[in-house]
Amino acid sequence: MTGVAAGPADTGPAVALPAVGPGPGEADWAAAVAAVRGLPADARVLLICHVNPDGDALGSMLGFGLGLRQLGVRRLQATFPGPPEVPEPIRGLPGMDLLVPEADADPAPELVVCFDAASESRLGGLVDRLETAGAALVLDHHASNTRFGGINLVDPRAAATSVLAEELLTRLGVTLDAAIAECLYVALTTDTGSFRFEATTPAVHELAARLLATGIRPGDISRRVFDTRPFGAVRLFGEVLCRARLEPLAAGGHGLVWTYATLDDLARHDQRPYVLEALIDSVRCTAEADVSCVVKQVRPAEWAVSMRSKGAVDVSRVAVALGGGGHRLAAGFTGRGTVEDVVAGIRTELDKALIEA
Ligand code: AMP
Ligand code: MN
Ligand code: MN
């Protein structure tokens, strides 16, 4: 997600989802604690988060890594698949020294821990570590999670993966310090849209209180992570928002608003692709549409698609049908062909999702 630069990557699951299974049981927590506590003194541990990391993916991973370091784990690496570029807004997170490029990641660590990835496909070329590692632990909160680890701490009701990371750290006896807290706070605010989304429960605010009690500065963090972007990105947003289309009859009359951005748009404004992650937050404001969508060119005929819903449509169904995944109110997939091809596919799947609902 992600809305790394400005707000929500994952809205997290909305409340009252009937299909959502229970979170981890005591046996799962005990297995996860044992997997860490049972590591030999010189054990190699590899942390992996999903491709194109957002605030929750990177923040959960680095916060957990700093916690492991506090416990004395020394041979520790954090990584993610694909280009080793971290979006500017989250580049200043504590624990960045743990990060290594995919190519340098340990081929056979004693323990691998995966963060915020709903399925193996989100691990790209690092997926083989699930086989080569001594044990594989998965921390995630996507309803569509396929439980691909040997130990799975998956809670679809959790607002962010960082909620699970903090609980495991606490069970391991780690003391929250300001560095760990900053990572987990960025993760939590990213996925709750700064406490605006439905998954913002009392427990989320209690977690935020524990994190803030370490002395981290929420104003500074939010300005850096959500409210800062280059002037070129401001102008690029203006252009891309101007070409947005509203289709009130789409999605069974609930309405669709969408826009797109090309590689040429990025080049003209001298911007990196991650600046576009925040665009969906401007598009989804549209009152006349339940569903919003931003189609971002990745390669000539390949597009990263972000979708949001206000509740009438389950966009994760649309995303899954088109080869992606996500949550009921925030989902995405990789589209092929022209922009029109991609949007045509979305229109079709939106209608199907409504019929099946
Ligand atoms: P984004 O629009 O990138 O902020 O992503 C919104 C949600 O959709 C997140 O929960 C992602 O995990 C999920 N998502 C986005 N793109 C993909 C994809 N290509 N495959 C699976 N899930 C995705
Ligand atoms: Mn994410
Ligand atoms: Mn998340």
* Ligand 1 in reach of 334 Cβ (< 6 A): yes
Report the C-alpha gap between 173 and 298 in whole angstroms: 43
Predicted pLDDT of residue 20: 55
Coil, helix or strand at residue 279: helix
Ligand showing the shortest atom-to-Cα distance for residue 49: 2
pLDDT 10s digits, 63-118: 999 999 999 999 999 999 999 999 999 999 999 999 999 999 999 999 999 999 99
Minimum-distance ligand 1 atom for the alpha carbon of 306: 2
**Which among 356, 118, 324 is positioned nearest to 346, based on CA atoms?**
324
CA count, 13 A, side-chain hemisphere, 99: 22
Mean pLDDT of 29-37: 98
Q: What is the pTM of this model?
A: 0.91
How many of the other CB atoms lie within 10 Å of CB of 75?
14
86 alpha carbon – ligand 2 mean position (Å): 13
Ligand showing the shortest atom-to-Cα distance for residue 334: 1
Report the C-alpha gap between 184 and 218 in whole angstroms: 12
Predicted pLDDT of residue 355: 76
* Ligand 1 in reach of 49 Cβ (< 6 A): no
* Ligand 1 in reach of 10 Cβ (< 6 A): yes
* Ligand 1 in reach of 331 Cβ (< 6 A): yes
Report the nearest-CA residue for atom 11 of ligand 1.
326
* Ligand 1 in reach of 294 Cβ (< 6 A): no
Report the nearest-CA residue for atom 2 of ligand 1.
306
* Ligand 1 in reach of 87 Cβ (< 6 A): no
Sequential DSSP letters for 210-239: HHHTTT--HHHHHHHHHS---HHHHHHHHH
Please say if the pLDDT value at position 17 is more than 50: no
Answer yes or no: are the C-beta atoms of 270 and 232 closer than 8 Å. Answer: yes
The amino acid that residue 66 corresponds to is: L
